[in-house]
């Protein structure tokens, strides 16, 4: 997939003029008012007579003046910037959520800073750095598993929300806000469904990093719980570790099929994995759902347009993103009670699973 770069043009470039030449002082002088009056007009704070307000606004408009946010943030010791710390920007499920977060934050007039947290880096520490540096307004953490202590969160010093992040061990819920689904219950639901269709050899594909309490391990709990309740013995050989992307799902499913364990159903902890797994099944000459039933997780659009359309445990990603921003801005507005919103996941049946004998 390497493609050579090809230089088509090499021409001279003249750096333009300074972007913003006007400052509040200039506006004040031109308007014939004091500096603080301009400030009050722009911030709708304090009293300003209507005529003065109109005069100032017309000058602001005429010169296309935009206040310098660095100066403002410096003085107020608080910027209006929101940061989004996210694991896996390119995962379609997150991409959709990010889109909504951006939309909602933007709607509230705040710029959004996005930082990707690679696996293994200390996301809260990274956020801490940004907060100190930029005097952020608030932070949304999205995706992953957090092992941070109550104290670490407390030290952030600005409002924050944990979205689709597995609940932390030993952290007082009053110390943070969160938006999530019940992963255990959701996986339980999907697995139970497959069992109800008569499946006994159901494999489970998810990511199991070294840490405890990850999304993968929580969904595994639900999977196990369903098996147990129906008297099916848990077989570790049916569980494959794989990252949340089609290529990994493909490889994992291939490995599973090669084990010849008589698998009749596959449950993947993400649609991306499910799509890869489905491909492995189909390209092995097996059919879905004829030979193998497949159920994914997330509810991304691509799963619906796969052929066959894939069953999935759908999360209301857009709503979750929306609520995350709402909670964050409530906290910023002074709300003191942390909230924990747990959304309901939905088992969407599209025909990639079928009843067997």
Interacting residue ranges for DNA, rule: CB under 7 A: 22-25, 28, 32-37, 39-40, 42-43, 45-49, 51-53, 65, 67-68, 71-72, 74-77
Task: Work out how close the CB of 159 gets to its own copies at its nearest, in angstroms, rounded to a whole number.
Answer: 8
Q: Which helix (H) or strand (E) holds 204?
A: strand 202-206
157 binds its own copies (CB under 8 A): yes
As a dihedral over the C-alpha atoms of residue 237, residue 239, residue 245, residue 251, rounded to 10 degrees, the angle is 10
Tell me the three state secondary structure of residue 92.
helix
Nearest residue (CB) to its own copies, 36 versus 68: 68
Residue 160: name the closest of 344, 335, 342 by CA.
335
271-300 residues near its own copies, rule: CB under 8 A:
275-276, 278-279, 282-283, 299
Select the residue interacting with its own copies from 163, 217, 312, 314 (CB under 8 A).
Answer: 314
Strands 202-206 and 265-268: parallel
22-51 residues near its own copies, rule: CB under 8 A:
none
Backbone angles phi, psi at 66, to 5 degrees: -125, 120
- What CA–CA distance (Å, rounded) separates 348 from 320? 18
- What CA–CA distance (Å, rounded) separates 80 from 112? 9
Task: Work out how close the CB of 97 gets to its own copies at its nearest, in angstroms, rounded to a whole number.
Answer: 9
What does 344 bind: DNA, its own copies, none (CB cut-off 5 to 8 Å by kind)? Answer: its own copies
Assess contact for 273 and 242: CB atoms under 8 A: yes
Of 25-33, 75-83, 204-212, 218-226: span binding its own copies (CB under 8 A):
75-83
89-128 residues near its own copies, rule: CB under 8 A:
89-90, 92, 95-96, 98-99, 102-103, 106, 111-116, 128
What does 23 bind: DNA, its own copies, none (CB cut-off 5 to 8 Å by kind)? Answer: DNA
């Amino acid at each position: 997939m390497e493609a050579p770069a090809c230089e088509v043009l090499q021409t001279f470039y003249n750096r333009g003029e300074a972007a913003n030449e006007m400052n509040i002082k200039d506006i004040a002088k031109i308007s014939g008012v004091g500096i603080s009056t301009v400030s009050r007009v722009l911030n709708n704070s304090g009293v300003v007579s209507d005529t003065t307000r109109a005069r100032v606004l017309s000058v602001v408009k005429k010169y296309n003046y935009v206040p310098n946010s660095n100066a403002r943030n410096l003085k107020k010791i608080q910027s209006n910037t929101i940061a989004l710390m996210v694991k896996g920007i390119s995962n379609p499920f997150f991409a959709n959520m990010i889109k909504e977060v951006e939309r909602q934050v933007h709607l509230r007039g705040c710029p959004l800073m996005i930082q990707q947290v690679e696996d293994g880096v200390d996301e809260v520490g990274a956020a801490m750095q940004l907060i100190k540096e930029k005097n952020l307004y608030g932070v949304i953490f999205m995706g992953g598993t957090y092992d941070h202590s109550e104290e670490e969160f407390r030290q952030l010093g600005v409002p924050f929300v944990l979205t689709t992040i597995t609940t932390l061990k030993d952290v007082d819920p009053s110390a943070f806000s969160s938006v999530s689904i019940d992963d255990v219950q959701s996986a339980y639901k999907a697995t139970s469904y497959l069992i109800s269709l008569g499946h006994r050899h159901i494999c489970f594909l998810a990511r199991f990093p070294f840490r405890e309490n990850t999304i993968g391990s929580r969904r595994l709990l639900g999977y196990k719980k369903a098996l147990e309740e129906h008297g099916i013995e848990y077989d570790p050989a049916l569980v494959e570790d794989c990252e949340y992307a089609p290529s990994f799902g493909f490889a994992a499913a291939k490995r599973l099929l090669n084990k010849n364990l008589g698998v009749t159903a596959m449950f993947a902890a993400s649609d991306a994995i499910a799509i890869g797994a489905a491909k492995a099944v189909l390209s092995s000459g097996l059919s879905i759902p004829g030979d193998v039933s497949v159920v994914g997780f997330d509810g991304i659009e691509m799963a619906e347009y796969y052929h066959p359309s894939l069953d999935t445990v759908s999360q209301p990603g857009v709503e979750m993103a929306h609520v995350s921003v709402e909670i964050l801005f409530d906290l910023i507005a002074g709300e003191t009670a942390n909230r924990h919103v747990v959304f309901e996941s939905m088992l969407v049946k599209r025909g990639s699973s079928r009843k067997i004998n």
